[in-house]
Amino acid sequence: MRLAALTLSFGLLAQSALADVDRLIDAMGVPQLIEAFVAEGRDAGASIDEAFLNGQGGAVWAETVSRLYDPQRMETELRFVMAEELDPAVAEQALLFFDSALGERIITLEVEARRAFMDDSVEEAAKSAQSASGDAVTDYLLTRNLIERNTDVAVAAQAAFLDGMADVSGVQGSAPDLERLRARVLIDTESWLRGYNALVQSALSEDDIAVYTAFWETEVGAKVDDALFLAFGQSYTTLSYALGQAAGRLLPQNEL
């Protein structure tokens, strides 16, 4: 009986620890950010149709894109990797910030800005704002190494898409110049991140921005970032490969 009680106790502790990782994911607004990413991804399906399928993907392609950009699947994958990679004790410490009044306010602003950026006019206005090139935005981006990390994820995803398409279709195009691709993606990524974070910071005081930036400089912040980028990177790359496979299956029908 004592052994059974001890086993049950350890089981409850493990569940409680994993619950902290789940709570952190929710507190950081990840599910809402995934929803915005999915909406943009589904819209981008039309561009892929034009670029690779001569605009002839039709309902089959549209349904495939919608199915692959499944927010529930992406969220489940991300939660699994985060639970594997992030020490629950770290998640518990990170929650001290994200459950605070300032933490909650910042996440609300980030989610609102992410949704607002789905409007091209808002995105362009934010990118051109003077604050987009300001020191506060620059310090924040450098602290988290966001430009390089997001660029790496985007390039890996594009390469995975081309690999998936080639693996299924058997059509081997010329290998992309990854160095040139990365340089182009880097410019677009930096512009987007500067505009987005300028919009977020426009509603914060200098002290608020300093506190938030300082959080990511801590060991806890760095570990959360590492786990988050790994989880998102894996999910996005897997999705992109599957998208490439789906496009590859339609290539012969479009005389490519």
The pLDDT tens digits for 137-153 are 999 999 999 999 999 99
What is the pLDDT averaged over residues 116-125? 95
10: pLDDT strictly greater than 80? no
Nearest 10 degrees: Cα torsion 185, 84, 225, 220: -170
Contact 229, 81 (CB under 8 A): no
Instruction: Provide the pLDDT confidence category of residue 14 given band limits of 50, 70 and 90.
Output: very low
Tell me the CA distances in angstroms from 195 to 102, 109, 126, one per residue in order.
21, 14, 5
Instruction: Provide the pLDDT confidence category of residue 254 given band limits of 50, 70 and 90.
Output: very low
3: pLDDT strictly greater than 80? no
Contact 78, 34 (CB under 8 A): yes
What is the pLDDT averaged over residues 101-112? 98
Mean pLDDT of the chain: 90
Cβ-count burial 159-196 (b if 16+ within 10 Å, e if not): bbbbbbbbebbeeeeeeeeeeeebeebbeebbbbbbbb
Burial of residue 204 (CB within 10 Å: 0-12, 13-18, 19+) is middle
246: pLDDT strictly greater than 50? yes
12: pLDDT strictly greater than 70? no
What is the pLDDT averaged over residues 107-134? 96
- Alpha-carbon distance of 115 to 35, in angstroms, equals 9
What is the pLDDT averaged over residues 170-181? 75
Residue 137 is which amino acid? Answer: V
Contact 241, 157 (CB under 8 A): no
Instruction: Provide the pLDDT confidence category of residue 104 given band limits of 50, 70 and 90.
Output: very high
97: pLDDT strictly greater than 90? yes
To the nearest 5 percent, what fractions of the chain are helix, strand and coil? 85, 0, 15
Burial of residue 153 (CB within 10 Å: 0-12, 13-18, 19+) is buried
- Alpha-carbon distance of 209 to 217, in angstroms, equals 13
181: pLDDT strictly greater than 50? yes
Nearest 10 degrees: Cα torsion 185, 187, 188, 194: 130
Q: Of all helices (H) and strands (E), which one includes residue 143? A: helix 135-144
pLDDT of residue 178: 81
What is the pLDDT averaged over residues 52-81? 93
17 versus 219: which is more confidently predicted?
A: 219
pTM of the model: 0.89
